[in-house]
Amino acid sequence: MAEGIVTERAGQKITVYLPEEGRELRGVPLGKVRKKEKVFAGDIVEGRVVDSSTFAIERVKERKNLLVRPPIANVDKVVVVSTLKNPEFQNFLLDNLLVVYDHLGLDTVVVFNKVDLLDPKEREELNRWVEIYRNAGYPVVTASVETGEGLKKLREELKGVTSIFAGPSGVGKSSLISKLTGVELRTGQVSRKTERGRHTTREVRLIPFEGGFIGDAPGFSRVDALNFMEREEVRLHFPEFGRYQCRFSDCLHLEEEGCEVREAVKRGEIPCERFKSYLKMLKVYLPWLSEVCKEE
Ligand SMILES: Nc1nc2c(ncn2[C@@H]2O[C@H](COP(=O)(O)OP(=O)(O)OP(=O)(O)O)[C@@H](O)[C@H]2O)c(=O)[nH]1
Ligand SMILES: [Mg+2]
Ligand SMILES: [Zn+2]
């Protein structure tokens, strides 16, 4: 028996990567696998090399997890890519993604790409966001496919793990992956067409990289944390809130007495941007907040 990892699942086509040989073969699920279970990219499979191009899949190993969009199994880490401009930064979308991936038990890395486009003033604005996410506890990388900034740091984050790139359309997910791995991916126009729904491709592909795998994903335009969890759970996925002890352990940090998170927002220790995202996720409006957090 040999062990491989499914790197591609497109319709009936399955590709299996054999780490020991460093090559990819066509995967053919044997009867019992075909009948009993679906095979996803990221699956660890056992089977036999039957000829120079074919791997017969006899068993799919139990999955650690299975993402829905994109459909990839056994993901360790999500690289959430944003840009300050082109497209404009949407911190609410980033915050939702960070909450949802933490809920799913995945590590996250925050990447700000296309920093080559920023003038000094915009670079300062970006630095403020970088500080906000670093202080919250996330690893943050500023990157540019054009200048190569941040790619070494990103490479370190990807070593030995299965990671996917997520974030809005057009931020450069595919471009970053191509630049890192040297593998050509469809970028720009083609995926924009897909966004319009002209040619929604379901194919998913993992690229072997530095002892791990990288998966590309289609851009998200909207993610709603409440579709994944109860409103009581959301606060647990804001790491910076966990540093404060409120009077009540089930405090939602809204209008409860003895809420230390609220005091921290008032003192400026928790940034307004993050706390506003939290309230927006819960669909709550608090009058005191407009006093503390003046509109920019
Ligand atoms: N100036 C600049 N342009 C970039 C950079 N990275 C990507 N781009 C450009 O941004 C556009 C979108 O890049 P993609 O890699 O297709 O973006 P994506 O995130 O994969 O988009 P979707 O697949 O639609 O979700 C392309 O025209 C890229 O050439 C960068 O660091 N700097
Ligand atoms: Mg893309
Ligand atoms: Zn509280």
CATH number at residue 264: 1.10.40.50
Q: Is the pLDDT of residue 187 over 80?
A: no
- Whole-number Å distance between alpha carbons of 72 and 214: 11
Instruction: Please give the single-letter amino acid code of residue 185.
Output: L
The secondary structure of 116-150 as a DSSP string is GG--HHHHHHHHHHHHHHHHHT--EEE--TTT-TT
- Whole-number Å distance between alpha carbons of 154 and 27: 31
- The position carrying tokens 């696998």 is 33
117 within ligand 1 shell (Cβ under 6 A): yes
- Whole-number Å distance between alpha carbons of 252 and 178: 42
Please give the mean pLDDT across all residues of the chain.
91
Cα 280 to ligand 2 centroid, rounded to whole Å: 28
Q: What are phi and psi of 218, to 5 degrees?
A: -70, 155
Is residue 74 within 8 A of residue 61, CB to CB? The reply is no
**Tally of domains within the chain:** 3
Q: What is the average pLDDT across 278-289?
A: 92
Is residue 175 within 8 A of residue 187, CB to CB? The reply is yes
Q: According to the annotation, is 79 in a ligand binding site?
A: no
Q: Residue 40 sits in a domain of what CATH number?
A: 2.40.50.140
pLDDT, residue 189, reads 46
Question: Whose CA is closest to atom 9 on ligand 1?
Answer: 172
274 within ligand 1 shell (Cβ under 6 A): no
174 within ligand 1 shell (Cβ under 6 A): yes
Residue-wise pLDDT tens digits, 213-271: 999 877 777 889 999 999 999 999 999 999 999 999 999 999 999 999 999 999 999 99
pLDDT, residue 202, reads 55
Q: According to the annotation, is 113 in a ligand binding site?
A: yes
State whether 283 and 162 are in the same domain.
Answer: no
Q: For the chain, what percent of residues have pLDDT higher than 90?
A: 77
77 within ligand 1 shell (Cβ under 6 A): no
State whether 132 and 188 are in the same domain.
Answer: yes
pLDDT, residue 17, reads 97
Q: According to the annotation, is 253 in a ligand binding site?
A: yes
Residues 289, 291, 293, CA angle at the centre, nearest 5°?
A: 60
Residue 198's pLDDT band (cuts 50, 70, 90):
very low
Residue 61: closest CA among 72, 83, 46: 46
Q: According to the annotation, is 277 in a ligand binding site?
A: no
pLDDT, residue 128, reads 98
Residue 205's pLDDT band (cuts 50, 70, 90):
confident
- Residue 221 within a domain: no
